[in-house]
Structure 1
Amino acid sequence: MLMSIALILLVGILTDFISKKLKIPSLIGFILTGILLGPAVFNLLDANFLTLSADLRKIILVIILTRAGLALDLKDLKKVGRPAVLLSFVPATFEIIGTMFFAPIFLGLSLLESALLGAILGAVSPAIVVPRMVTLIQEKRGTKKGIPQLILAGASVDDIYALVLFSSFLTLVQSGEFQMLSLLKIPVSIFSGLLVGLTGGYLLAKLFEKIRFSSMVQFLILFSLSLSLVHLEAVLTWLPFSGILAVMAMAIMLYRQMPTDSDKIAHFYHQLWVPGEMFLFILVGASVNIAFAFAAGFLPLLVILGALLIRMIGVWVSLIGTNLSFKDKLFCLIAYSPKATVQAAIGGVPFALGLASGELMLTLSVLAILITAPLGAFGMDFSYNKLLEK
């Protein structure tokens, strides 16, 4: 197991270096590296270590959510207004509906399984979008109309919306039956997650104000509580509760109460994301069954591309009534297309839980990353000079 960890880190560093030289997203290189290191090709990773990959992905998901929460100022949502709120859930909803239409036809999935798959595919990637929007703000591209801020704010909440729906749909699929009463669990889980997270963040801020811990200790306390909230979701079987939403809400409240200290805490999460990104995408690649992916043929591609097209319609609908030009809206369509981080974190969960369609969902998650991540990244890099005003 120790050799597997060392191998992932060393090969991951080399892969990151080569990817940057070739000017391709590092996560693409990590996934391909994982496929090579995994059982499908060279089988160099310890089998016992691979069994822990589901838990490791949960830990990395906590890192992703907390990073986003510690950077999300609620004032940004108010500034960009209605379009940001609509972008928070309309595109993902359209993509889930699109998946529920295409997946039963091409893949033979049930409506519930298709909804679960749609929730997996429905989140935009902060790992690809956020750095590029920060660059646009620095270069003052599209900032007069608030386009980078709009995408940043909307994309941050978009991930949480998709993750909450994923958690709710997963519970419904595991129960094996669809009941209208089960739909009530979704708003209850959202409300309870928000309540616990916001309350926890407020109390934590008061604790940090009263007892001046070092930034490292503050990070460790926040990280431990975040992991506990995710575990609490599994323990509270009698109460619908979204642990992932609670984690995000706690980080948002902490940032609101003490922004300066939160920036220092966020620094540790940024550092932790460096090895976390390697482990996340390499382990996802290692879990892919190449033979199964080839056997599935081109039908998964039709589902991914068809649902993505429906998603773009959702983005366009969200921007109706704004002062954005056709070029501005076209850039938003491109910026809202790449998948990566969330799909890598949750794509393998149904498979790890033993769902009949779990391996197919994992395969589609990886294909969605391999297709949309480079297209979205390259699309933004090559179009922003032409589409956005300086």
Structure 2
Amino acid sequence: MKINANIGKSVAGKRRGYIDLDMEPNIEQKGVRVYTFIEPDTENKRKLYDKWWQKLCLRCHPPDATPSWQPSWWSRFFPYPLCSTYRHTAQNLCIIFFFLLTWGILYAGLGEAIGLKGELLGMALLVISAYLVGWLWLKLTTLPALIGMLLTGILFQNLQLVQMTDAYRKLNQDLRKIALVIILTRAGLGLDAAVMKRHYAAVLQLGLLPWLVECFAIGILTHYLLYLPWIWGFLLGSMIASVSPAVVVPCLFRLRDSGYGVAKGIPTIVVAAAAIDDSVSVAVFAIILNAMFSTGSATFNIIKGPLSIIVGVAIGSLWGAMTAIIPEKDDTYVAILRFLALFLGGLFSYFISSLIGWSGAGPLAIVSSGFVAAYFWDKQGWPVNKNPVSNAFRILWIFFEPILFAFTGAQVTISALDPEVIKMGAICLITCLFLRAIATFLVSFGCGLNSKEKIFISFTWMAKATVQAALGPAALDMVHNGQTAGAPKEEEESHAKALLAVSVLSVVLSAPLGALLIALTGPRLLSKHDPAVEEADGEMKTVDTSTQL
């Protein structure tokens, strides 16, 4: 942060010692001396926290970003940085308490009826453990927390700490569907119409063409290496080709906050393209899955695919536009009412579309409603992705992220995995990631990017996580529920388990790889925009960099 210290003798004389202590002279022009303000806390930390255990504690317990309150006795019993701040401790306690409350409500309502007492307790312990392990994983490695959550689920399953009965699977399925609704709604709310209009060619090129390349590559390679039927191969391809916003967005925003790629709007373009990529992936996956397990005529199933896209976009757009009118924009409870409208509307469209056999319409309706709602709210003064509704979905995702990844990992039994499937699946994934990177580099021509920026975007397009975790077990769920695609049940179950294994493998391999590549190559491949010093009217002015983005 910089301040203009042209304050005459009152500063140069009376408070000279204060300036010498906390400020460093930077430049001097026309008798105006500019100082760089150094936070005293930062300087103290450099001196005090020089031991290895103190540095480790600081990684796990970051300081509060804004001024905070704590009880007078807190620092005496829980000194910082050995313990986290009161704010962070209270946040984690709230989340754990809410998980326990949810288990208690489910047990009270369902326990005696369907005998879920032991399973619900195991599920609650799994989710809480996944949340804590994910939090610790993020702090110690800076890699996405979802990797730790996924590994926790795998560990619980293979240590037989959770049981996989039919009742468990049904509840598991419903919770994963709710998590998918949250993912898609956030994707829609994050689409900025102004950015789409200004960079529509780049967003569509990056969001669709690399997805198509990887989808077809996965479908072809798994057909010949894993011996999946063509329809199963392309079902897997439509899921694996999706990029994970849960990995890409935080990594890009960290670079953006440091000024990398800001001048050309690269973080904004990539995030918008990722939302398009996810929407298409979920919609196509739902259409193929519905066509495979549908009992209607083949002709109608073929026609229903494009129709579901049109119907989903139309209904979602109308619903999103309605939220700008109802409730009234100046209503005291407008934020919570708009949140409920989008969330409940998304749940309704997803579950009903699956019930009536139009699975592709639901995901597109959810994304469309979020996008149209954000567009109208922006005109009413709510910035895109920085409004109370977006914040509410962000908080909701904190609870459902460990549920989604822990439950997905809990469906993987290592002893039951075919080593050949894992080996060939890894070869397919690595090959297709390489092909996608090349395709992304080639299709980014005409987007106004230089070679280094194209290489960087190619690396960002590798991370998989959220869609794969949400959709990976979907085919296996349908087989377990007695639905069939026309082949023997043992064969279909084998194909479905291969899909689940490859989807989990894609998360384990690509999520840390993508996060590392973004963090390591961003500062080297992207130009840094530093708005700290600007020319205006022939005089040097200083700008507070903390307000940028």
Q: TM-score band, normalised by the shorter chain?
A: over 0.9
Deviation at 1:79, TM superposition (A): 1.9
Check whether the contact 2:134–2:148 (CA below 8 A) recurs between aligned residues. yes
Question: Structure 2 residue aligned with 1:148, among 253, 260, 267?
Answer: 267
Given the alignment of the two structures, is residue 381 of structure 1 paired with residue 519 of structure 2, yes or no? yes
Paired amino acid for 2:402? M
Give 1:69-218 correspondences, 5 Å limit: 69-175=188-294, 182-209=301-328, 212=331, 213-218=333-338
| In structure 2, C-alpha distance between the alignment counterparts of 1:46 and 1:347, rounded to whole Å | 16
Shift of 1:5: 4.1
Alignment TM-score, normalising by the size of structure 1:
0.93
Instruction: State how far apart, in whole Å, the 2-side matches of 1:128 and 1:298 are.
Output: 25
The question of whether the paired residues in 2 share the 8 Å contact of 1:188 and 1:241 is answered with no
Any conservation in 2 of the 1:30–1:282 contact (CA below 8 Å)?
yes
2:405 corresponds to 1:250: no
C-alpha separation in 1, matches of 2:359 and 2:405: 30
Counting only pairs closer than 5 Å after superposition, residues 220-239 of structure 1 correspond to structure 2 as 220-237=340-357
CA deviations 1:345-377 (Å, max 9, x no partner) are: 111101111143111100000000000000000
The 1-side partners of 2:435 and 2:467 are apart by 19
Note the residue ranges of structure 2 that are not aligned, 5 or more in a row.
1-118, 480-491, 529-549
2:466 maps to what in 1?
341
Write out per-residue CA displacement over residues 179-220 of structure 1, whole angstroms, 9 at most, x where no aligned residue.
Answer: 576443332111110000001111222111278234223322
Aligned pair partner of 1:331 in 429, 438, 456: 456
Q: SS in structure 2 opposite 1:52?
A: helix
- Given that 2:150 and 2:405 are in contact with CA atoms closer than 8 Å, whether structure 1 keeps it comes out as yes
Per the TM alignment, residue 101 of structure 1 is displaced from its structure 2 partner at its CA by 1.4
Pairwise CA distance, 1:324: 1.9
Aligned AA for 2:365? Answer: A
Distance 1:297 1:82 in 2: 38
Q: Which amino acid aligns with 1:256?
A: Y
Deviation at 1:46, TM superposition (A): 6.8
TM-fit CA distance, 1:96: 1.0
Cα gap change, 1:305 to 1:183, in 2 (>3 Å):
farther
Alignment counterpart, residue 187 of structure 2, candidates 57, 68, 79: 68
Does structure 1 retain, via aligned residues, the 8 Å contact 2:452–2:525? yes
Q: Does residue 26 in structure 1 map to residue 161 in structure 2?
A: no
The answer to whether structure 1 residue 316 and structure 2 residue 441 are counterparts is: yes
Q: Residues 215 and 238 of structure 2 are in contact (CA less than 8 Å); yes or no, is this contact kept in structure 1?
A: yes
Distance in 2, matches of 1:174 and 1:162, equals 18
Pick closer, same or farther for the CA change 1:186–1:147 going to 2, 3 Å: same
Distance 1:8 1:217, change over 3 A: farther
1:10 aligns with 2:128: yes
Query: Where does residue 402 of structure 2 map in the other structure?
Result: 278
Distance verdict in 2 for CA 1:49–1:240, change over 3 Å: closer
Report the alpha carbon displacement of residue 240 of structure 1 after superposing the two structures with TM: 7.3
Deviations 1:36-65 (A, max 9, x none): 112x22333574434421111110000111
The Cα of 1:293 is off from its aligned counterpart by 2.8
Letter in 2 for 1:359: K
Aligned mates of 1:82, 1:139 — CA distance in 2: 27
**In 1: Cα distance, 2:434 partner to 2:500 partner:** 21
Q: Counterpart of 2:347 in structure 1: which amino acid? A: L
Distance 2:134 2:465 in 1: 16
- The answer to which structure, 1 or 2, has the higher relative contact order (CA under 8 A, 6+ apart) is 1
* Secondary structure of 2:464 counterpart: coil
CA contact (8 A) 2:188 2:371 kept: yes
* Residue 359 (1) aligns with residue 497 (2): yes
Greater shift after overlay, 194-203 or 62-71? Answer: 62-71
Look up the equivalent residue of 2:311 and give its one-letter code.
S
TM-score (norm. length: structure 2)? 0.67
Greater per-residue strand proportion = 2
2-side partners of 1:201 and 1:254: how far apart? 4
Percent identity over the alignment is: 30
1:88, distance to aligned residue in structure 2 (A): 1.5
Paired residue type of 1:232: I
* Number of matched pairs: 388
Question: Considering only CA atoms, is the larger Rg found in Structure 1 or Structure 2?
Answer: 2
Following the alignment from structure 1 to structure 2, what is the Cα–Cα distance between the partners of residues 317 and 148? Answer: 19
More helix by share: 1
In structure 2, C-alpha distance between the alignment counterparts of 1:297 and 1:265, rounded to whole Å:
41
CA RMSD of aligned residues (A): 2.2
Stretches of structure 1 lacking an aligned partner (at least 5 in a row):
none
Structure 1 stretch 56-65 or stretch 321-330: which is displaced more? Answer: 321-330
**Is residue 328–residue 334 contact of structure 2 (8 Å, CA) maintained in 1?**
no
The alpha-carbon deviation at position 292 of structure 1 amounts to: 3.3
Is the 1:34–1:284 Cα contact (8 Å) retained in structure 2?
yes
Answer yes or no: is the 8 Å Cα contact 2:286–2:359 preserved in 1.
Answer: no
In structure 2, what residue type is equivalent to 1:231?
Answer: F
